[in-house]
């Protein structure tokens, strides 16, 4: 098996599948996560091939765009990897990363646990793309896609959401910062992820302070 060729095939497959995807979950999101994952991997003892495949396929069919169907993404990824004649254990590892990477699953107390260094790397890479300048842009892009209010002072963030509440939320976009994005810094797994997240987190805090001042006519 030529790993380089498989990665090339995977890139081509993902680019085609996500050609018309929402701007925050399109090929460019995948590419950034892939690059972040490779960067973090330099400081971790991981299987670069597994990390690469998982990063490239982690959002091949995000459940939020498929009526909450959490099985479709892992299924599409697995079927693709079978056609690439990938080792069965490697396919299972990649699929498990896809199943366990999302923030919403951390809100659910489940008996089914999966851990690996590769998951930690790809999860950090994905979370880094949800914060900082890119994270702010993606957050408002998705809010616009869902026709959500920018902000409503009368609707307070829900800081103790269940997984189902998170999935079904239609709260204003600003609330998402407090319900998820500002929490990610302290959920990073790797040393590199934590270091990069610090700067991006600070950028978001500064943005929210500026937003609040402008909203209230203070600046």
10-residue mean pLDDT series, the chain (219 residues) = 93 95 93 97 96 96 72 93 96 95 71 86 97 97 95 94 84 96 96 97 98 92
pLDDT at 112: 64
pLDDT at 108: 64
pLDDT at 64: 74
60 phi/psi in degrees, rounded to 5 = -65, -25
pLDDT at 113: 79
pLDDT at 38: 97
Q: Are 187 and 102 in contact (CB under 8 A)?
A: no
* CATH level 3 topology of 3-215: Hypothetical protein af1432 (1.10.3210)
Of the candidates 49, 184, 60, which has an alpha carbon nearest to the alpha carbon of residue 124? 184
pLDDT at 189: 96
d(CA 153, CA 2): 55
pLDDT at 68: 65
Q: Where are the domains of the chain?
A: 3-215
Burial, 46: exposed, middle or buried (Cβ in 10 Å; 0-12, 13-18, 19+)? buried
pLDDT at 91: 97
- Rg value, the chain, Cα: 18
d(CA 204, CA 133): 7
d(CA 167, CA 69): 11
């Amino acid at each position: 098996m030529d790993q380089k060729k498989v990665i090339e095939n995977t890139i081509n497959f993902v680019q085609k599948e996500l050609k018309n995807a929402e701007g925050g979950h399109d090929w460019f999101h995948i590419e950034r996560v892939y690059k972040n994952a490779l960067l973090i991997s330099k400081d971790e003892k991981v299987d670069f091939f597994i990390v690469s495949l998982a990063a490239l396929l982690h959002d091949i069919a995000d459940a939020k765009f498929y009526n909450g169907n959490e099985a479709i993404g892992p299924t599409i990824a697995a079927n693709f990897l079978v056609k690439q004649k990938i080792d069965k254990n490697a396919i299972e590892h990649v699929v498990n990363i896809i199943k366990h990477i999302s923030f919403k699953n951390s809100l659910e107390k489940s008996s089914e646990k999966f851990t690996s260094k590769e998951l930690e790397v790809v999860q950090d890479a994905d979370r880094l793309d949800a914060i900082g300048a890119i994270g702010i842009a993606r957050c408002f892009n998705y809010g616009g896609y869902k026709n959500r209010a920018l902000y409503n002072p009368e609707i307070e963030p829900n800081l103790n959401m269940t997984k189902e509440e998170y999935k079904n939320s239609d709260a204003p976009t600003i609330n998402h910062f407090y319900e998820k994005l500002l929490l990610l810094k302290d959920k990073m797994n790797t040393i590199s992820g934590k270091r990069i997240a610090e700067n991006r987190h600070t950028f978001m805090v500064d943005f929210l302070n500026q937003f609040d001042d402008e909203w209230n006519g203070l600046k």
